C-alpha cells in the first residue's frame, strides 16, 4: 500500500513523519544513556538478582508469573549463550530494555500506523520516568505493551473486523498485558472509560473496548478467584486491608506526604499536563472527560498510597505510579491538544515534555552513580584487609546511599567479577548478618539473601571466587 494512502490526509502523514523522527531521537538518547549508565542499572537489586540467575541457569527468570519480562530478559540470555564476557552481558541487558520499547514503537508506527499511540509511548518513557530508568521492572514494560495492544485495536473499526485467527492473538495479548503487572489493569480501565466517554470515538471503537474489558475481566477472575495466588500477590492482597483499617485517615499518611513532595520536585510536568487536560475539557464543556481526567489520576494515587501508607523509597513508589503517565498522556494527545493544535504540530508540545523528561532522567543518575561508587570503594577497602569475605550489618554502611541491601551479594559479585572471573568476591550486607552465623564457616559457599550456592554451582565463565577462607564480620 502506498505510504500516503495509509492516512486520512497529508496532514496525518506529516504528523506520522514528525512522530517517527521524535521517536528516533528519544530512543537514541535513551539507548546512549543505557550504555553510559549500564552499571547503575544492571548491578542494582532486581536486575543484579535476575542477571545472576540467568547466567547461573542459562534460562530466563520469570518472577510471579510475569512472563512478559521475557521481552527484555532474552537479551542477556542470548548474550550469555553467545559467550559474551560479563561486561558484554550487562551492557546487552541494559540496552535491551531500550530496544524493547523501541521495537514496540516500531510496531505501532510501521505495523499499525498509529502515530498518536506512538506519541503515547514516548510520553510513557519520559513524562514521569525518573528513577525507574535505573531501577527496572515489569511495570513500564507492561504499560508499553498495553499501548501497543490499544494501537492494534484502533486499526479495526469494530470487533467483527478482526480476522478469525486474530482473536486468539488478541486474547493472548490481553493475558500478557495483564500478567506484566496487576496495575496495568488500571491503566487500561482508564483508557477504556476515556474513549467510551469521548463523543468523538466511533461506536465500533467503543465496542472494541467492551471486548477488551471482557477479556481483562476474565483474566482478573481467573487470577484472583480461580488460580492459587503466589506469595507476592498474596502480600498485595494483605496490603489492601489498609483501606478499611486506615479510614478515615486516608489523607494523613506518610505516603501521601511523600507523593506531594515528589510531585513538586520531580513530577510537576505530569501535574501540569493533567491540569491542562481538565481545564481544556471544562472550557469545551466536555464535563465527563474533565471529571475522568481529574478523578482518575487522583483515585489511582489513593489506590497506591493507602496500601503503602508506611512510605517506601521513591524509586519503588514511582514504579507503582507509572500508570499515571498513561492517564495523563491519552487525554492530552487524543483530546486536549487537538483542540489547540493541528495534527502535524502535536509533536511540538510532546517534544518539550520529552526533552524535560530526558534532562530529569540524566540528573537522577547521581543517586545511582553514588551507590555504584560506594560499592566499588568498599570492594577496594575490603580487598586490602587480611580477609576478603565479609558479612556486613546495615548499621555499618551508609544506607542513605545504599537505599536497600537485599541485592548486595549479587551486586558485589558482579562488580568484582567485571575485571576477571577469578576476581569475583563474596560480600553480603544484611540487617541482621548474624543469621548466617551457622554458614559462614563453609569456605566454598556463596551466601545470598534468599538462597546460598556452592562455588561449583556458579557459572565458571563469569564467577570463579578464589577465596576459600571463611566469612568474617565487618569491621575487622
Looking at the fold, whether 310 and 428 belong to one and the same domain comes out as no
pTM of the model as a whole: 0.96
Residue 93 lies in domain: 4-363
Looking at the fold, whether 328 and 392 belong to one and the same domain comes out as no
- pLDDT, mean of residues 303-329: 97
Looking at the fold, whether 345 and 244 belong to one and the same domain comes out as yes
Looking at the fold, whether 22 and 120 belong to one and the same domain comes out as yes
Looking at the fold, whether 298 and 438 belong to one and the same domain comes out as no
Looking at the fold, whether 227 and 201 belong to one and the same domain comes out as yes
**Domain boundary pick from 305, 332, 363:** 363
Looking at the fold, whether 437 and 302 belong to one and the same domain comes out as no
Q: In the prediction, which pLDDT does 235 show? A: 78
Q: In the prediction, which pLDDT does 2 show? A: 62
Residue 392 pairs in a beta bridge with 429
Looking at the fold, whether 238 and 122 belong to one and the same domain comes out as yes
- pLDDT, mean of residues 307-331: 97
**Domain boundary pick from 317, 339, 363:** 363
Looking at the fold, whether 157 and 32 belong to one and the same domain comes out as yes
Q: In the prediction, which pLDDT does 6 show? A: 80
Q: Structurally, how many domains does the chain consist of?
A: 2
Looking at the fold, whether 176 and 320 belong to one and the same domain comes out as yes
% of residues, the chain, pLDDT over 70: 99
Looking at the fold, whether 340 and 404 belong to one and the same domain comes out as no
Give the tens place of pLDDT for each residue, 230-282.
777 787 778 888 899 999 999 999 999 999 999 999 999 999 999 999 999 99
Looking at the fold, whether 137 and 98 belong to one and the same domain comes out as yes
- pLDDT, mean of residues 441-469: 96
Give the tens place of pLDDT for each residue, 170-226.
999 999 999 999 999 999 999 999 999 999 999 999 999 999 999 999 999 999 889
**Domain boundary pick from 329, 363, 397:** 363
Amino acid at each position: 500500500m502506498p505510504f500516503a494512502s495509509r492516512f486520512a490526509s497529508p496532514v496525518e502523514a506529516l504528523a506520522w513523519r514528525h512522530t517517527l523522527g521524535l521517536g528516533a531521537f528519544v530512543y537514541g538518547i535513551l539507548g546512549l544513556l543505557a550504555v553510559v549508565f549500564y552499571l547503575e542499572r544492571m548491578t542494582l537489586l532486581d536486575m543484579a538478582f535476575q542477571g545472576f540467575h540467568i547466567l547461573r541457569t542459562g534460562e530466563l527468570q520469570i518472577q510471579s508469573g510475569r512472563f512478559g519480562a521475557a521481552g527484555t530478559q532474552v537479551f542477556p540470555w542470548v548474550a550469555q549463550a553467545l559467550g559474551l564476557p560479563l561486561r558484554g552481558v550487562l551492557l546487552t541487558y541494559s540496552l535491551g530494555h531500550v530496544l524493547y520499547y523501541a521495537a514496540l514503537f516500531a510496531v505501532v508506527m510501521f505495523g499499525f500506523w498509529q502515530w498518536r499511540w506512538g506519541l503515547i509511548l514516548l510520553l510513557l518513557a519520559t513524562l514521569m520516568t525518573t528513577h525507574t530508568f535505573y531501577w527496572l521492572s515489569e511495570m513500564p514494560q507492561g504499560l508499553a505493551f498495553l499501548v501497543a495492544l490499544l494501537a492494534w485495536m484502533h486499526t479495526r473499526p469494530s470487533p467483527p473486523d478482526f480476522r478469525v485467527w486474530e482473536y486468539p492473538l488478541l486474547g493472548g495479548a490481553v493475558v500478557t498485558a495483564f500478567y506484566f503487572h496487576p496495575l496495568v489493569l488500571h491503566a487500561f480501565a482508564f483508557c477504556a472509560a476515556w474513549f467510551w466517554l469521548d463523543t468523538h470515538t466511533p461506536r465500533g471503537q467503543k465496542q472494541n473496548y467492551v471486548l477488551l474489558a471482557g477479556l481483562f475481566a476474565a483474566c482478573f477472575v481467573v487470577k484472583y478467584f480461580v488460580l492459587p495466588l503466589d506469595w507476592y500477590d498474596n502480600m498485595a492482597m494483605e496490603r489492601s486491608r489498609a483501606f478499611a483499617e486506615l479510614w478515615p485517615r486516608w489523607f494523613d499518611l506518610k505516603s501521601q506526604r511523600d507523593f506531594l513532595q515528589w510531585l513538586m520536585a520531580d513530577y510537576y510536568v505530569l501535574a501540569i499536563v493533567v491540569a491542562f487536560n481538565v481545564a481544556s475539557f471544562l472550557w469545551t464543556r466536555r464535563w465527563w472527560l474533565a471529571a475522568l481526567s481529574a478523578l482518575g489520576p487522583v483515585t489511582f494515587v489513593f489506590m497506591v498510597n493507602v496500601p503503602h501508607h508506611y512510605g517506601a523509597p521513591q524509586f519503588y513508589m514511582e514504579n507503582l505510579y507509572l500508570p499515571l503517565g498513561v492517564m495523563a498522556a491519552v487525554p492530552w494527545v487524543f483530546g486536549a491538544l487537538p483542540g489547540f493544535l493541528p495534527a502535524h504540530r502535536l509533536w511540538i508540545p510532546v517534544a518539550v515534555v520529552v526533552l524535560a523528561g530526558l534532562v530529569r532522567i540524566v540528573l537522577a543518575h547521581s543517586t545511582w552513580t553514588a551507590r555504584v561508587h560506594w560499592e566499588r570503594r568498599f570492594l577496594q577497602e575490603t580487598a586490602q584487609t587480611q580477609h576478603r569475605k565479609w558479612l556486613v550489618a546495615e548499621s555499618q554502611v551508609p544506607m542513605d546511599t545504599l537505599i536497600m541491601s537485599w541485592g548486595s551479594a549479587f551486586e558485589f559479585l558482579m562488580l568484582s567479577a567485571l575485571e576477571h572471573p577469578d576476581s569475583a568476591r563474596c560480600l553480603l550486607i544484611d540487617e541482621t548478618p548474624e543469621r548466617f552465623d551457622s554458614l559462614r564457616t563453609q569456605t566454598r559457599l556463596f551466601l545470598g539473601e534468599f538462597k546460598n550456592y556452592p562455588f561449583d554451582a556458579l557459572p565458571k565463565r563469569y564467577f570463579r571466587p578464589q577465596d576459600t577462607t571463611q566469612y568474617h564480620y565487618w569491621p575487622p
